[in-house]
């Protein structure tokens, strides 16, 4: 099938490569010529395991190409809309300008009978408006939200947990079944619904995940006041299958390009709909999440005897989670910048996040080698749980630092081992 993907950011680049892998003839469109050149060379513009191989395979196999010229999508039967919907600069609402620009550009090129399929995360109600704007072209609109996680984006796209189609007629669902034939034949659950439900599935899923993380982080706050251990608590309640252990890791909280902005956009949309009360708890979810960063700062001050000023602090991790180079809304980078703002002598390290961090916070000192970051530090703060930080040898770290103090912002270190090596250890919601 001839397919176009409009917008080649995280979502679009992965989707285009995955569609080519499924055997479709794919053209990806982006307004950024540098990104298009990188993708057209079969290279990944960001760190995502498996993406470079898939891109190269598609490009060399002639099933995948990239362009800045949207008119090259004219012959496609299905146009996926994968542009970004960031948070507006001056409010919590989603900025839909890229979605509108894409629809305007598509209106000039789509053929009657073509299907435009939204994948971007949008405020519920957006799709119905876009469908009206497309109607005069003879093309129609469906919504097919994407649930991919960074670091697992290829697998999440090729073998998703479920497929959700928001459609206005059954023919659209049949066409999407052809697009996803491989997954459908493999038994992937498929939910066919209307446009607003499909939009809301995505928003609700992210709101639920964020709530789950903030719930356990709220319990961490209670644990800190009582001497209880939040990791043991999470293990114990997680055994209840109705609760489940996943997404119950307490720590410095969630970040990234999705969860923070999506819960804020949801709150803003609910207010527009006159339903602010229904999701008022999401303000708390956001507030709890941001308080965890403060906690790391407070612990740093406490461990360093009342002030971080001119104290050398090694910050281990900058990305919002491991196996990613993404620092958008990263709690780790925020902690590093705040400590620097308080006058600390911060040395930050990360296996893949330094380049992107430097663009946002050029004032910080970055080193690529974790031992160089730790050397002479009076405090180590582990804020992204990369394997290489989880597996650090406590005795060696103590030797490097000279003063053995560590904050485990992700609760991934073995407390007994680090204490035995002489560390003053602080977790979040334990010890």
Let me know: does 349 contact 373? Beta carbons within 8 Å. yes
Site for ligand UDX contains 148 (CB under 6 A)? yes
Pick one of 253, 317, 353, 427: the residue that binds ligand UDX (CB under 6 A).
Answer: 253
- Total of chain residues touching ligand UDX, rule CB under 6 A: 19
Let me know: does 399 contact 392? Beta carbons within 8 Å. no
Task: For the CB of residue 326, give the shortest distance to ligand UDX in the complex, in Å.
Answer: 8
Query: What are the DSSP calls for 187-219, one per residue?
Result: T--EEEE-HHHHHHHHHHHHHHHHHHHHHHHHH
Let me know if 368 is exposed, middle or buried by CB neighbors in 10 A (0-12, 13-18, 19+): exposed
Let me know: does 137 contact 112? Beta carbons within 8 Å. yes
Site for ligand UDX contains 154 (CB under 6 A)? no
Nearest to 410 by CA among 396, 393, 429, 394: 429
Does the annotation place 85 within a ligand binding site?
yes
The DSSP symbol for 71 reads G
Site for ligand UDX contains 390 (CB under 6 A)? no
Region from 36-44, 246-254, 397-405, 411-419 binding ligand UDX, contact rule CB under 6 A: 246-254
In the stretch 201-230, what mask flags binding to ligand UDX with x, by CB under 6 A? Answer: -----x--x---x-----------------
Pick one of 84, 256, 409, 429: the residue that binds ligand UDX (CB under 6 A).
Answer: 256
Does the annotation place 247 within a ligand binding site?
yes
Task: For the CB of residue 351, give the shortest distance to ligand UDX in the complex, in Å.
Answer: 15
Site for ligand UDX contains 245 (CB under 6 A)? no
Nearer to ligand UDX, 66 or 147 (CB): 147
Token match 């001497």: residue?
227
Does the annotation place 321 within a ligand binding site?
yes
Residues 6+ apart with CB under 8 A from 81: 6, 7, 99, 102, 103, 106, 116, 117, 118, 119, 120
- Catalytic, out of 258, 299, 397, 401: 258
Site for ligand UDX contains 320 (CB under 6 A)? yes
Pick one of 46, 66, 143, 147: the residue that binds ligand UDX (CB under 6 A).
Answer: 147
Does the annotation place 328 within a ligand binding site?
yes
Rounded distance between C-alpha atoms, residue 65 and residue 36, angstroms: 9
Region from 34-42, 81-89, 247-255, 353-361 binding ligand UDX, contact rule CB under 6 A: 247-255
Q: Establish how many alpha carbons lie within 13 A of residue 313's alpha carbon, considering only the half-sphere containing its beta carbon.
A: 32
Region from 17-25, 184-192, 256-264, 398-406 binding ligand UDX, contact rule CB under 6 A: 256-264
Does the annotation place 250 within a ligand binding site?
yes
8 flagged as catalytic: no
Q: Return the bridge partners of 316, or none.
A: 349, 382
Task: For the CB of residue 416, give the shortest distance to ligand UDX in the complex, in Å.
Answer: 23
Q: Return the bridge partners of 163, or none.
A: 190
CA distances (Å), origin 388, targets 317, 366, 382, 393: 10, 17, 11, 10
Site for ligand UDX contains 352 (CB under 6 A)? no
Nearest to 356 by CA among 392, 382, 384, 388: 384
Rounded distance between C-alpha atoms, residue 273 and residue 102, angstroms: 25
Region from 17-25, 109-117, 188-196, 254-262 binding ligand UDX, contact rule CB under 6 A: 254-262
Pick one of 157, 203, 249, 267: the residue that binds ligand UDX (CB under 6 A).
Answer: 249
Site for ligand UDX contains 149 (CB under 6 A)? yes
Please report which helix (H) or strand (E) contains residue 345, including its range. Answer: strand 345-349
Task: For the CB of residue 148, give the shortest distance to ligand UDX in the complex, in Å.
Answer: 5
Pick one of 28, 58, 123, 251: the residue that binds ligand UDX (CB under 6 A).
Answer: 251
Let me know if 111 is exposed, middle or buried by CB neighbors in 10 A (0-12, 13-18, 19+): middle
Which residue ranges are tagged as binding site? 30, 35, 85, 121, 147-150, 202, 247-251, 255, 261, 321, 328
Which residue ranges are tagged as binding site for substrate? 147-150, 202, 247-251, 255, 321
Which residue ranges are tagged as binding site for NAD(+)? 30, 35, 85, 121, 150, 261, 328
Catalytic positions are: 258
Residues near ligand UDX (CB under 6 A): 147-150, 206, 209, 213, 247-249, 251, 253-256, 258-259, 320-321
């Amino acid at each position: 099938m001839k397919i176009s993907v409009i917008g080649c950011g995280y979502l679009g680049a992965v989707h285009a490569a995955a569609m080519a892998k499924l055997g479709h003839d794919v053209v990806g469109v982006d307004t950024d010529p540098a990104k298009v050149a990188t993708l057209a060379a079969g290279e990944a513009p960001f760190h995502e395991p498996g993406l470079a191989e898939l891109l190269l395979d598609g490009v060399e196999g002639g099933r995948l190409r990239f362009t800045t010229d949207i008119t090259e999508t004219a012959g496609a039967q299905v146009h996926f809309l994968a542009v970004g919907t960031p948070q507006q600069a001056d409010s919590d609402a989603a900025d839909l300008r890229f979605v509108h620009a894409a629809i305007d550009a598509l209106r000039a090129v789509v053929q009657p009978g073509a299907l435009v399929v939204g994948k971007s995360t949008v405020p519920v109600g957006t799709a119905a408006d876009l469908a009206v704007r497309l109607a005069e072209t003879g093309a129609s609109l469906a919504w097919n939200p994407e649930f991919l996680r960074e670091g697992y984006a290829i697998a999440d796209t090729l073998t998703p947990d479920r497929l959700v189609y928001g459609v206005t007629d059954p023919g659209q669902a049949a066409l999407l079944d052809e697009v996803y034939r491989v997954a459908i034949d493999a038994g992937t659950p498929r939910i066919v619904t209307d446009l607003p439900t499909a939009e809301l599935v995505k928003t609700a899923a992210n709101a639920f995940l964020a709530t789950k993380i903030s719930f356990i982080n709220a319990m961490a706050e209670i644990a800190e006041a009582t001497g209880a251990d939040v990791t043991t608590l999470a293990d114990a309640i997680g055994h209840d299958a109705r609760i489940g252990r996943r997404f119950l890791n307490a720590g410095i909280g969630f970040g990234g390009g999705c969860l923070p902005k999506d819960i804020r956009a949801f709150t803003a949309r609910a207010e527009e709909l006159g339903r602010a009360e229904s999701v008022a708890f999401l303000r708390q979810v956001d507030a709890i999440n941001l308080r965890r960063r403060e906690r790391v700062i407070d612990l740093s001050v406490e461990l360093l005897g009342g002030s971080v000023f001119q104290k050398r602090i090694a910050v281990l991790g900058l990305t919002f989670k491991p196996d990613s180079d993404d620092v958008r809304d990263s709690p780790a980078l925020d902690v590093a910048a705040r400590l620097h703002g308080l006058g600390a002598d911060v040395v930050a390290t990360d296996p893949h996040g330094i380049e992107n961090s430097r663009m946002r916070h050029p004032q910080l000192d970055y080193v690529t080698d974790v031992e160089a970051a730790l050397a002479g530090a009076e405090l180590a703060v582990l804020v992204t749980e990369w394997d290489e930080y989880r597996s650090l040898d406590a005795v060696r770290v103590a030797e490097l630092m000279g003063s053995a103090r560590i904050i485990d912002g992700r609760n991934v270190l073995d407390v007994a081992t680090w204490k035995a090596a002489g560390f003053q250890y602080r977790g979040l919601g334990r010890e």
